[in-house]
Amino acid sequence: MKVIKAPLSREDILELKMGEEVLVEGSIYTARDAAHKRIAEAIRTGQDLPFDPNGQIIYYVGPCPAPPGRVIGSAGPTTSGRMDAYAPLLIKRGLRVMIGKGSRDEAVIEAMQKYGALYLAAVGGAGAYLARKIVAAEIVAYPELGPEAILKLEVKDFPCIVAIDAQGNNIYAR
């Protein structure tokens, strides 16, 4: 099984193929709809972004509060289609990997092919298990959004499947 860790280059991404199992290691960022809307507005208006997306990984998750003795609460993937309106902007800025669940629209897949990005599926319904793969979490931006704030997570052995590769091969279209 391949291990991926940000920052990732276009070449790193091109090696991964639809259907491959991967383990994600190191730093990743969380962002859902509300955070994506703010990031897109910042890009459009030339403002600073809360983190540099170049070479990075975004996990579409709104984690639950951490129970006693844990870093984070349940952290299962959310439906990725809600970010489709914003994803091409981030991919153009160098975002290399998105993690979520469900299919993506054609504009996202076209941006992935053009700029070299891929989409990983995490197992829906496995939020408690996935939370155990998160070893640290800190708020990076938009704390007022609660579970939709942008977090920087440190992950170890975070399991995913390449759902759509940089060539546009799509597990959901099979």
Q: Which residues are catalytic?
A: 36
Report the C-alpha gap between 96 and 57 in whole angstroms. Answer: 6
Which residues neighbour 22 within 8 Å (Cβ) at sequence distance 6 or greater?
Answer: 1, 2, 3, 4, 16, 120, 159, 160, 161, 162
Report which of 17, 31, 23 is spatially closest to residue 4, judged by C-alpha positions: 23
Instruction: Quote the tokens at residue 141.
Output: 């931006």
